[in-house]
Chains A and B, each alone.
Chain A
Amino acid sequence: MQINPNITPTILSDMNQSQSALNTALQQVATGLSVNVPSDNPTASAAMVQNTIDTGNVDQYQQNVNTVLSTVQSASSVLSNVVTALTQAVSLGTEGANGTNSAANMQAIAAQVQGVFSSVVSLANSSVGGTFLFGGNGTTAPYTADSSASTGYTYTGTNDVSSVAVGNSLSVQVNLPGSQVFSSSSNNVLGSLNALVTALQGGNSSAISTATAAVNSSIGFVSQQQAFYGNAENQLNSQETSLQQDTVTLASQATNLVGINLATAATNLTQAETENSAAMAAVAKVMPNTLLNYLSPPA
């Protein structure tokens, strides 16, 4: 059998291989990743592009959900306050319609209902973070009390609704414009309050009763609108759960693609170290060995 007397190339090649395995193992432990450059795993690296984008989006969707949720909850609680105010107006109207009130009392009741009217206007102008909850896309307070108007107020908001992205191809409508929340063809919250004030001031019991009934019907109307916000809240809550699941899924996908189990990485490193030392020990033993070592120098 022929053998190559020069073992250096073989030794160097072996040493390089074990050194490179050691470097790889070390890098994997240091970074916690099995894929550090695209050539480590081209398919996984390519898949990570979409994963990174999706992860970034899901994070932002969760923030959007939280922002929108607080807006929706605020709107819902404002509407509850409106219902409370309207209920108060109904009891005042009922009191005014019972026919036993003096003229002075009637004026006092009218003034109280006027106060309710003002507080409902103020509620309808509620804003969160500079955005008016019931102003459509308007940038100024949508409602102004206006005694010259037949309904007693003017609406300067827009009729727009906004939808906010909370998932891939999922957006949630987050507001109703005031023109829709507080009025319809058959109901007008502020208008009915204003009519009640006028009726109380006029002192006609039957007119007061009619006006009170209209305010009462507005309560039902506002409650219906409140359901919209309740639905949105439910939708957002369930979307939040689903986004949390997405986060977990994406993270585990990333781990599967480019991550490495730390125990595996540590084992690989130990193994590579052992192999490298063994290779070097073998080289140190074999390199200086020739027949010359066994010849005594000439006497």
Chain B
Amino acid sequence: MGGLNTSLSIGMQALDAAQGALDVTSHNIANANTPGYSEEVVQLSANSMTMSRGQVSGGGVTLDGLQGTQNQLINLQIQQQTSLQSSTNTQSASLQQMQTFFTTTGTDVASALTALSSSLVALSASPGSSVTQQSVLASGQNLAQAFNTTANGLTSAQSTADGLVTESVAQINTLTQQIGALNGQVARLTASGQSGGAVEDQLNQSVQQLSQLTGISITQSSDGETITTGSGTPLVMGDQSFSLQTTTGSDGFQQVLDFNGKDITNSIQGGQLGGAIQVRDTTVPGLLSQLNTLASQFANSFNAVQAGGIDSNGNPGQNVFTIPINLADAASGISVAITNPALIAVSSVGSPNSNGNVASLSAVLTTALPSGQTAAMAYASLVFDVGSQAANASTQSTAIGENLLQLTNQLGATSGVNINDETANLIRFQTAYEAGARIVSTIQQLYADTMNMMT
């Protein structure tokens, strides 16, 4: 009976293996759309068969386990590119928001400079008219407001970025805690000789999310993954996680501290956090400083020419623009000091209808400011700066997006669930299960036949 028993147990093993394979296939199909899930493949192996005195024993199939299909190399590349893209996207979104203030809308600085320039040309023809004087004054007020609006637009983008810093740090801390815990689970599973499988997928997914928030670097060790920021501040080591902190810095913005309390704000790159810090600490201050210089130099030059002339009341011209003492507040705080249009110093000699000073006032717009550029040129280069930064960020984001799509496709090809494959497997293992069942029923029939020999 030994031979039949062997066949029966082989049949049973076939049933078990087919059952296991069907489970895995179902699991794959069920998780086809689970983010970060990588396909599991059943590992089957044939048992050895031995021949002894004309009797076959052993044989059959064993389900060894499951093999994950993660591709760490591609995962790593995806994480890097994700950090880059997330940083670029954050900057791009900010710049898109900022550049609307530099678009010709009628309330922007270019429109205001245009209006001031043409109102001064009009004043040249009718220096004594209170209407043209009023129009110059109103244009001056519009220019001051345009500077205010633009500066506020920039600072508002800066505050948004600052808020994003706090938010990103909180998200990073939540994720690093999760990653620490998952790391511990994977380490325990690996130690007991099991495949990390689903936990590893989850871990990868969390690391992926972390890379959206900040640039990270990952090293594998026996304890699992060690994750640091791009500049080496530890975030996760094995099952331990290290929280980042924020504190209000001297500039009023949130600074990022590592777990020891050391300020690492300037070394953070990549990810939403890196992008936000870049916008807040580099992009906006760069643009603001250009705008402040322009506002302050223009206002000072205009005031100087005004002081050299004589107003319609016969007095030396007073300041038209008031500029805050602090250069950093120039654009946001500039205002018009006078409300009476008769105080515009149109005359150079003092007689009421003289326009001797108007040409000099006009010249403030056409001659170089101390920066070496005319007001229009200085503003134009600011427009170019904003526009090209916004265009670059968006082009870069598109390029990284293409790259990322390529990598995602590569990853999908190696570890994604292919419904067609799984369906084919389903049919294959269904047939295998049916065949195994047939073995069992055949052996059962043979037992019955053998029993019948005895009657």
Q: Which of A164-190 contact B (CB under 8 A)?
A: 164-165, 168-169, 171
Measured between alpha carbons, how far is A46 from B386 in the docked complex, in Å?
A: 10
Interface string of B88-120 (1 = CB under 8 A from A): 000000011001101110000011011101110
CB contact under 8 A between A57 and B121, given known A2-B414, A38-B390, A291-B419: yes
Minimum CB–CB distance from B305 to chain A (whole Å) comes to: 15
Which of A5-13, A99-107, A208-216 lines the interface with chain B?
A5-13
Give every chain A residue within 8 A of B351 (Cβ-Cβ): 136-138, 158, 160
Minimum CB–CB distance from A5 to chain B (whole Å) comes to: 3
Measured between alpha carbons, how far is A5 from B410 in the docked complex, in Å?
A: 10
Closest to B39 in A: A5
Within 8 Å by CB of B111, from A10, A52, A171, lies A52
**Cβ–Cβ contact B413 & A37, under 8 A:** no
Interface string of B335-375 (1 = CB under 8 A from A): 00000000000000101111100110010011000000000
Q: Is B308 an interface residue (CB 8 A)?
A: no
Measured between alpha carbons, how far is A138 from B124 in the docked complex, in Å?
A: 17
Q: Is B125 an interface residue (CB 8 A)?
A: yes
Within 8 Å by CB of B95, from A4, A13, A39, A52, lies A39
Which of B220-228, B316-324, B401-409, B441-449 lines the interface with chain A?
B401-409
Measured between alpha carbons, how far is A47 from B423 in the docked complex, in Å?
A: 61
Q: Is B12 an interface residue (CB 8 A)?
A: no
Q: Is B387 an interface residue (CB 8 A)?
A: yes
Give every chain B residue within 8 A of A45 (Cβ-Cβ): 102, 383-384, 387
Q: Is B122 an interface residue (CB 8 A)?
A: yes
Q: Which of B184-198 contact A (CB under 8 A)?
A: none
Interface size on B, residues (CB 8 A): 68
Measured between alpha carbons, how far is A41 from B390 in the docked complex, in Å?
A: 10
Measured between alpha carbons, how far is A52 from B421 in the docked complex, in Å?
A: 63
**Cβ–Cβ contact A9 & B125, under 8 A:** no
**Cβ–Cβ contact A57 & B413, under 8 A:** no
Minimum CB–CB distance from A87 to chain B (whole Å) comes to: 32
Within 8 Å by CB of A165, from B32, B124, B413, lies B124
Measured between alpha carbons, how far is A63 from B99 in the docked complex, in Å?
A: 34
Closest to B395 in A: A39
Minimum CB–CB distance from B234 to chain A (whole Å) comes to: 32
**Cβ–Cβ contact A59 & B417, under 8 A:** no
Measured between alpha carbons, how far is A99 from B233 in the docked complex, in Å?
A: 120
Within 8 Å by CB of A64, from B104, B124, B420, lies B124
Give every chain A residue within 8 A of B358 (Cβ-Cβ): 165
Closest to B122 in A: A60
**Cβ–Cβ contact A162 & B405, under 8 A:** no
**Cβ–Cβ contact A67 & B125, under 8 A:** yes
**Cβ–Cβ contact B405 & A9, under 8 A:** yes
Measured between alpha carbons, how far is A130 from B130 in the docked complex, in Å?
A: 13
Q: Is A117 an interface residue (CB 8 A)?
A: no
Give every chain A residue within 8 A of B4 (Cβ-Cβ): none
**Cβ–Cβ contact B383 & A42, under 8 A:** yes
Q: Is A75 an interface residue (CB 8 A)?
A: no
**Cβ–Cβ contact A160 & B110, under 8 A:** no
**Cβ–Cβ contact B122 & A138, under 8 A:** no
Query: Which among B117, B390, B412, B419 has the highest number of chain A CB atoms within 10 Å?
Result: B412
For chain A, which range describes its interface: under 10, 10 to 19, 20 to 34, or 35 or more residues? 35 or more
CB contact under 8 A between A5 and B417, given known A13-B405, A37-B103, A63-B122: yes
Within 8 Å by CB of B117, from A48, A57, A64, lies A57
Query: Which among A48, A53, A60, A64 has the highest number of chain B CB atoms within 10 Å?
Result: A53
Give every chain A residue within 8 A of B417 (Cβ-Cβ): 5-6
Measured between alpha carbons, how far is A4 from B379 in the docked complex, in Å?
A: 49
Minimum CB–CB distance from B279 to chain A (whole Å) comes to: 15
**Cβ–Cβ contact B121 & A64, under 8 A:** yes
**Cβ–Cβ contact A131 & B353, under 8 A:** yes
Closest to B412 in A: A4
CB contact under 8 A between A165 and B359, given known A49-B379, A56-B115, A60-B118: yes
Q: Is B381 an interface residue (CB 8 A)?
A: yes
Give every chain B residue within 8 A of A137 (Cβ-Cβ): 349, 351-354
CB contact under 8 A between A165 and B121, given known A4-B412, A5-B421, A49-B110: yes
Q: Is B257 an interface residue (CB 8 A)?
A: no
Give every chain A residue within 8 A of B354 (Cβ-Cβ): 137, 160, 162
The 8 closest A-B pairs by CB, nearest first: A38-B387, A42-B387, A5-B418, A4-B412, A39-B390, A2-B413, A46-B384, A60-B118
Task: List A residues at the B interface (Cβ < 8 Å).
Answer: 2-6, 9-10, 13, 36-43, 45-50, 52-53, 55-57, 59-61, 63-64, 67-68, 129-131, 136-139, 158, 160, 162-165, 168-169, 171, 290-292, 295
Q: List 29 A-B contacts (CB under 8 A).
A: A2-B413, A5-B412, A5-B419, A5-B421, A6-B32, A6-B417, A37-B100, A37-B387, A38-B387, A39-B390, A40-B391, A42-B388, A49-B380, A50-B376, A50-B377, A50-B380, A55-B114, A56-B117, A59-B118, A64-B122, A129-B126, A137-B349, A139-B128, A160-B351, A162-B127, A162-B355, A164-B124, A165-B362, A168-B366
A-B contacts besides A5-B420, A52-B104, 18 pairs, CB < 8 Å: A4-B409, A6-B32, A6-B412, A38-B386, A39-B99, A39-B389, A42-B391, A45-B387, A50-B376, A50-B380, A52-B114, A60-B119, A67-B125, A68-B125, A131-B353, A137-B353, A139-B353, A162-B354
Task: List B residues at the A interface (Cβ < 8 Å).
Answer: 32, 95-96, 99-100, 102-104, 110-111, 113-115, 117-119, 121-122, 124-128, 349, 351-355, 358-359, 362, 365-366, 376-377, 379-381, 383-391, 394, 401-402, 405, 408-414, 416-421, 423-424, 427
